[in-house]
Each structure stands twice: as structure tokens, then as C-alpha cells.
Structure 1
Amino acid sequence: MNADRADREARETLSSFPAFYRYWMPRITGYLRSQTSDGRWVEDIAQESMLAAQRRWDELVTYDKPGAWLFRVATTMLRRWQAKAREQCTSLDDMITRGDAGLPSAGERGTDGRLDLMDAVRSLPRRQREAVALHCLLEFPMPEVARILGMSEGSAKTHVYRARRRLEELLREPAVEMEGRR
């Protein structure tokens, strides 16, 4: 996407809350889906994030990057919901039934022997998962990723680098792995 076009679209979203909602809702929902396989949370967190934006609309329109604010709110909400879900896992049986909070194991592969991209992203450690989704899937620049996640730009770069390296390992075709072992 052209940077000028993206800047123009982002500015236009501030013309009204409905325009902001139409532009950012599919992006925030997609981001949240990349973070958890438990779809029950995605729509609720996306809606709650948008409600928070609506409540602070007069202040939000003055921000340079209101989208970054929205993603930071959604990320914080998701972390809280995930922590709450972990607390509710009261037994090993419950954790097994839930599939370890909905995350696939790193070795789980489909019938064709490959991991689905979103499953692979979900299997990453939380910080790597968040950073790679924001930077690579949603195309946020690295300074924005750092700001959204509340870390230094160097840390954000490290998380994205490690995530990409791990995704490359996870998504490599089994035949390539077998050839590498010979």
C-alpha cells in the first residue's frame, strides 16, 4: 500500500466516528484473530476497543496516530482476557479440553504436512506474535509497533526478527526438512 494513500485514508477516518469505525474495525478484528484462535474473544474485544474510542472520540481526533491508540487498547484488553481465561483453567483436564488456551502446539501440522500461517503465528510467544502481526500483517511501521506494545523500537525489531525466523522454521515443508537431515 502506498504510504501517501495510507496517510490520506487514516486522516479521512477522523472525519467522524462512523468513518473511523468502518476503517479500523476490520483491521482490529484481523489483528485480534491473528493473536488468538478463540473467536469468542475477538468480536468482544474489538467492540470494547471501539466503545473506548467512541467514549474518548473528542480527545482521540487530536492524536497523531489514533489507530495506534486503538491497537494498544485492544492488545491490553486481549492480554487481560487471556490472563482471566488462564485463571479459570482450574484443572489439567480443563486445560486439555480447551487445548492449552486455544493455541496449537508448535508441531501440529495439517493433512498436507504444513502449518497454517495463522496457526503458526498463534503458536509464537506473545510478544513475538503481537509484534509480527502488527508489523508484517498490518504493515505498521516499527516505531508504531513499539509504541503500541509499550517497548523500545529495538525490542520491537528483535521480536519481529525472532518471530520471522521461527515462522520460517514452522512453515517449512516437511520434505525440505527431511532433505536437510540427510
Structure 2
Amino acid sequence: MTVTVPRSRIERMAAEIPLDDQPQPLRELRSFDGFYRREYREVVGLAYALSGSRIAAEDIAQDAFVAAHKRWEQVGRYDQPGAWVRRVAANLAVSAFRTRVREAGALARLKPRSSYLPPMPDEDAEFWKAVRSLPHRQAQVIALHYLEDRPVADIAEILGCAEATVRVHLHKGRAGLARRLGISPEEQP
């Protein structure tokens, strides 16, 4: 029974870069260590130019050299193995850019839209802090009633409860706010 191990993205990208049609066994296999020391700085420079990030460039270069090391028996016999590594690095940089664009779009969709909200006046901050300290359902009813000017019927529909329940939560919420804010019942709106 043969088990297929899924290849990583880097290995797949490296495999897509064509090797010579016929291996050329007559070429001498170069030392990977020497190759790495000679080429690393330039490959990082290329990756930096394509990615704009030093950290990303180092990651891209490392991934490209890992791919070369895994295939060194073939890549090491090329006339210019550095060209192969640079191509892998360039492909990885493009993939990294596409990933960042997708991630930025996803983050933008998830980011709170606080820029759409006007700043809360300081005198309201204490009131809304007190609202947040109320029981959950009372806070919801108070917010919908005072912030959005919703009538009891709308609040009941939004919260999925009876209008009488909304009136009870509104009454208890107002009483709780009066206690927390030190307001007498006559002063309540």
C-alpha cells in the first residue's frame, strides 16, 4: 500500500519550475553550503525588492533555499542554480503578496466601523456605562429605546419577546439607572 504525503506549497511551487529535460550527469554537483553562502544575500535582496519587507524577504529566501536543498541533486548540476532559486523566490514573493492582499481585505471586513460613529459626549459616557452594568436584556431594551428611538412594538419584534415584557424591562432598566446614577424617579425621562 502506497501512502501519498501532501506536498507543501513551497514544494509544489518548486516542482512547477521546469528542470532540464534531461539530467546532465556530466556536470559536477556543486556544494550546497558554498552555493548558499554565495547567493543568499542577493536572493534576500530580490525578495525584499518584491515584498517590501525585510522579514518577509528573509522568510521567502529561506523557503526558496529549502526547496533548492530538497532538490539539490538536480538543481546543483545546473549551469546557474542561482537562477532557479531566484525564480522560486520571485514566485513565493508574488504568492506572499496575494496572501497579504486577501488577509487585508478580510481584516478590513472584520474591523469595527468605529469611524462611522460620532464621538460620545462625556456626559453621555457615564449614562451608557450605567446602561452596560444593567442586566443584559434591560440594557438591550434601554439602548434600543433611547439610542434608536424605537417604540415598544419594534423592540419586542427585534428581541423576539412580548410587548409587555419589553415594558417590564424598560421599567426595571429605568429604575436601575436611577439608582446607579442617583436620579429620583421624577427626573427620569
Relative to the length of structure 2, the TM-score reads 0.40
**Structure whose CA Rg is larger:** 2
Greater relative contact order structure (CA < 8 Å, 6+ sep): 1
